Structure 1
Amino acid sequence: MLQLTASHIDSLAPNAAAAKNGRDLVKKNKFVKLNVSEEGNLLFGECLGSGKSNYVCSVDFVTPENPVARCSCPSRQFPCKHALGLMYAYADGLTFEQATVPEDIASKREKAEKREENKSKRESGELPPAKPKKVNKAALKKKIAQQLEALDELEKLVLSLVRGGLGTVDARTVKTLNEHAKRLGSSYLTGAENELRRLALLLGQEDRETGYTYASEQLTLLNAFIKKGRSYLRSKEEDPELKPDTESTIEEWLGHAWQLAELKEAGRVSENVQLLQLAFYCYQDEARKEFVDTGFWLELGSDRVHRTVQYRPFKAVKYMKEEDSFFSVAQIGELYRYPGGLNARVRFEGMLPREVTDADREAAIGAASASIADAVKAVKNQLKDPLADRAPVALLKASRIARTEDGTYALIDPSGATLELGDVYRLPQRTTPLLPLVAPELLEDCCVLAMFEHRMDTGRLVAQPLTLIRGNEITRLLY
């Protein structure tokens, strides 16, 4: 029998408005037909619409971890409010009459089964594999030449900024940086485009002291990319058949969008993984001109903390599913890992939720590092690579979180070592001011998910608490 909960349906909704509209359809009794297949894996029905004809909608759970929603309405959101309403009606216990699977859905199921069957046969060798895409060497060389030329121009710009000094930067300089960023995008250097635009934002902000501090780091970042990017592109120019680098982030800097098939071929996929989300936040990235939904997930049975990232361009935001906090355990058939460091980005195409158990919370506590020194060492090793993520996240054990003499907070590990807690620049929300509001017992013998940052102005490493875990309680400060 199909098991559906309101929280699972919420996670499938493209945004909060669609979820609310779906619930309202149920409350207003807009569904004139509610059907379920004999196998119990297909919901379908009809809903009153604004026109003469009812909207025909369905949600197919033949693949439970990746349900398929269909509707005759003109909405460009998937699932639409009618499909969501159908699921909410089922979760609320409304009566669904058993009926035969409609012919059009049965036909689509057959086609999908055939595709999966052919895919399995190719993977097992029963069918010849799909022909690999041929590399257009002439086009590739032209693209690489354009990228190398753009790197030369970027290097001249960076050197001129360094020679002139950041104190000479004015509105005209900021405008020049933004114009140059557009040219980088046209030259297939989208990663550099975003970071140059980020530099322009830093130099244009009113708080010049903070802006200049991080602008210096941004210049170092761009300089490192120029050197690494040039070396990598020249190697590729000499060998057009050279496979993408699957260990570093250089490909993304050079504008490569990883396909799941590429990650699988590179062995960057894990099967039957269970993830527990420990933190989530969304922010507006003006440099990328996108909303960014970010989640940090613990892979149960290991100590790895992964990162999910969804980019929603400002121009297309209303057509894209907005991610949200997830409070269940995600059971995933195939987890794809992007190249990266401590918190490599991951993707999955479908999942089945289940309730969090005490065993899951115990696993999370067991995955935490008992030594601040070990965690700091891993963080510093990542920060040595200028192209790596500048704000890694780690899970640490704490004997207590205490207020210091100067009024700040510190994490004290079981050996007595201390780690300064504070709000990091790269995180859009503050969380340390919330610590006085947390029940005191939750700050004793707990685990802390923290985001690290190296402060250029003080030369110190600081950590911002995101989540507290103690016993059977998971307290999110950021969600």
Structure 2
Amino acid sequence: MTQQGVRWTADQVLALAPDDASRTAGSRLGSAGAWSRTGSSREGAVWGLCKGSGATPYRTVVDLADPSGPAFRCSCPSRKFPCKHALGLLLLWSGGQPVPPAEPPEWAGQWLTERRERLGREQAGEEEKAEGSAVDAAGGAADPEAARRRAERRAERIGAGATELEQRLADLLRSGLASAEQSGYGLWEETAARMVDAQAPGLAGRVRELGAIPGSGPGWPARLLEECALLHLLDRGWLRRAELPDGLAATVRGRVGLTGTADGPPVRDNWLVLAQYDTADAKLTTRRIWLYGTGSGRTALLLSYGPVGRSPELALPVGLALDAELSAYPDAGRQRAALVERHAPPEPTPVRPPGVTTVEAAARYGDALRDDPWLDSVPVTLDDVVPTPDGDSWQLADADGGTALPLTSSAASRPGLWRLVALSGGAPVKVFGECGHRGFTPLTAWPSGAGEAVPLC
């Protein structure tokens, strides 16, 4: 937002919510009755006082003008980011409620001024750091030999861990898959800990996923065997990585946990925010943001992380476009990217990503498996599909009735499915999501004809 007249939609605001509870609570605060002394500036700030349970209202301010993304400040004790008050204030503003242009009050103006001064200092520091790195590189101050030795030592540890894991998989198959259900999860956790000691977090994560399969429902032995085979393939890929093509070798390194750096040439584009959603484990919250380059036609994935219980700070509203430069990581598909520089805040755009049929989507996933056999899914936009029931589940069928893709079990149980069904009303819609061996997970949809993007996650 660079001008006061450019406003987000309610769906774009709610896409920032860290969870469903915040989304619901924020929606309740999106009316004028909860707010007083609201105001906005042409520089892209919105503020107001929100009535709470105590005598003192909460002071809430949102800075939307910074290219690094929206920033939030609220005097409430919530640890969620953004809190329900920030969401409610943005909903009030996005709905055209009275948020008049004004000079910010002292408490809001002070935070905005300090924040922008700090960002200016950080930017200057980053530029100085980059200049210093260039000088070091030119002068040979770094020690490439020491870095090479560290990399070799870690590779040896990962190799030892992969060899040990191969033996444990062989023992499991020798004793029979039924023994996995009797052993309990402790055996898998102990094996995962050994992979962490070997500095192979990717192997550790896949081992923990194996531990959740035994006893998980009908057909679990077949699923366990399939995942064991993929883990065996990853082990062998690491142990014989010198014989692999460069792209596949980079993918193997990434899968075991050596992500490397984003070394691809920076690509500046107007990046449409296709979807944003969080997943969490016992230690970390991971945010996935899918982008589509409206000029380059490339699809990119941004990953950001936050401590358990708190969402990551990077937040981009679905349906807006961001003028930015991205650099790809070195894997075979080169879809994961790093945000190098933003040139303007996110703004509305009428552009939609091009779509394919359900048959083409399945073929795209099959093609991607040649470069990355461990790939769970690929990003795909489906054109002209209709959500239809399929027994106890749902599917997305081509409008011509030819073929369909089943929805994943997790997607079929999400509230977003009913938003998709309501948006369609039996008519074809455009849907972006992830297509893989478990089915299709819809993340965002667009109605036929004109209309804003509707987040489904």
Give the AA of the match of 1:215: L
Distance 1:435 1:104 in 2: 39
Match of 1:27 in 2: 33
TM-score (norm 2): 0.70
Task: Give the counterpart of 2:369 among 380, 383, 395.
Answer: 383
**One-letter code aligned to 1:216:** L
2:293 to 295, 299, 312: 299
Aligned to 1:227: 236
Q: Please, which runs of 5 or more residues in structure 1 have no aligned partner? A: 236-243, 456-461
8 A Cα contact 1:44 1:59, kept in partner: yes
Secondary structure of the corresponding residue to residue 274 of structure 1: strand
Of 63, 66, 72 in structure 1, the residue corresponding to residue 66 of structure 2 is 63
In structure 2, C-alpha distance between the alignment counterparts of 1:433 and 1:52, rounded to whole Å: 39
Q: Among 116, 119, 123, which residue is 1:112 paired with?
A: 119
* Mean CA deviation greater in 149-158 or 79-88: 79-88
Looking at structure 2, the residues matched to 411 and 475 of structure 1 have their Cα atoms a distance apart, in angstroms, of: 20
Percent of paired sites with the same residue: 20
- Please, which of 169, 175, 199 is the counterpart of residue 164 of structure 1? 175
Deviations, residues 437-468 of structure 1 (Å, cap 9, x unaligned): 8868624xx7665654448xxxxxx6677757
User: For residues 124 and 48 of structure 2, what CA distance do their matches in structure 1 show?
Assistant: 29
Q: Compared with structure 1, are the counterparts of its residues 122 and 439 closer, same or farther at alpha carbon in structure 2 (3 Å cutoff)? A: closer
Change (3 A) 1:273 1:104: closer
Equivalent residues, number: 434
Measure, in 2, the Cα distance between the counterparts of 1:440 and 1:4.
Answer: 27
- Write the deviation string for residues 373-418 of structure 1: whole angstroms up to 9, x where unpaired: x6554422222345441322433556999999xx99785699x9x5
Segments of structure 2 that go 5 or more residues without pairing to the other structure are none
* Shift in CA distance, 113/294, structure 1 to aligned 2, threshold 3 Å: closer
Note the aligned Cα RMSD (angstroms): 5.2
2:405 pairs with one of 421, 432, 444 = 421
Q: 1:432 to 1:15 in 2, by over 3 A?
A: closer
In the aligned structure 2, how far is the partner of 1:384 from the partner of 1:326?
Answer: 33
Letter in 1 for 2:380: A
The change in CA–CA distance for 1:323 and 1:420 in structure 2 (over 3 A counts) is: farther
C-alpha distance in 2 between matches for 1:47 and 1:119: 37
Give the structure 2 partner of residue 216 of structure 1.
225
After the TM superposition, which residues 164-183 of structure 1 pair with which residues of structure 2 at under 5 Å, given as runs? Answer: 164-172=175-183, 174-183=185-194
Question: 1:62 & 1:410 partners in 2: Cα distance?
Answer: 38
The CA deviation at 1:144 is 3.3
Mapped partners of 1:468, 1:99: distance in 2: 36
Corresponding residue of 2:251:
249
In 1: Cα distance, 2:89 partner to 2:451 partner: 33
Aligned to 1:395: 381
Partner of 1:442: 427
Which residue identity does 2:120 align to in structure 1? E
**TM-score, normalisation: structure 1:** 0.67
Q: AA paired with 1:368?
A: G
Deviation, structure 1 residue 14 = 4.4
Structure 1 SS opposite 2:190:
helix
- Provide closer, same or farther for how the CA distance between residues 142 and 339 of structure 1 changes in structure 2, counting only shifts above 3 A: closer
CA separation in 2, counterparts of 1:61 and 1:434?
27
Q: Is residue 395–residue 407 contact of structure 2 (8 Å, CA) maintained in 1?
A: no
1:329 aligns with 2:320: yes
Distance 1:390 1:323, change over 3 A: same
Q: Give the Å deviation of 1:225.
A: 1.5
Would the aligned equivalents of 1:400 and 1:411 in 2 still touch at CA under 8 Å? yes
Report matched runs for 1:269-348 at 5 Å. 269-277=266-274, 294=288, 296-301=290-295, 303-307=297-301, 316-317=308-309, 319-321=310-312, 326-340=317-331, 344-346=335-337, 348=339
Alignment of 1:441-460 (within 5 A): 442-443=427-428, 449=432, 451-454=434-437
Paired residue secondary structure (1:202): coil
**For residue 103 of structure 2, what is the amino acid of its counterpart?**
Q
The answer on whether the counterparts of 1:283 and 1:428 sit within 8 Å (CA) in structure 2 is no
The letter of the residue matching 1:442 is A
Work out whether 1:471 is the aligned partner of 2:449. Answer: yes
Query: What's the offset of the Cα at 1:214?
Result: 1.9
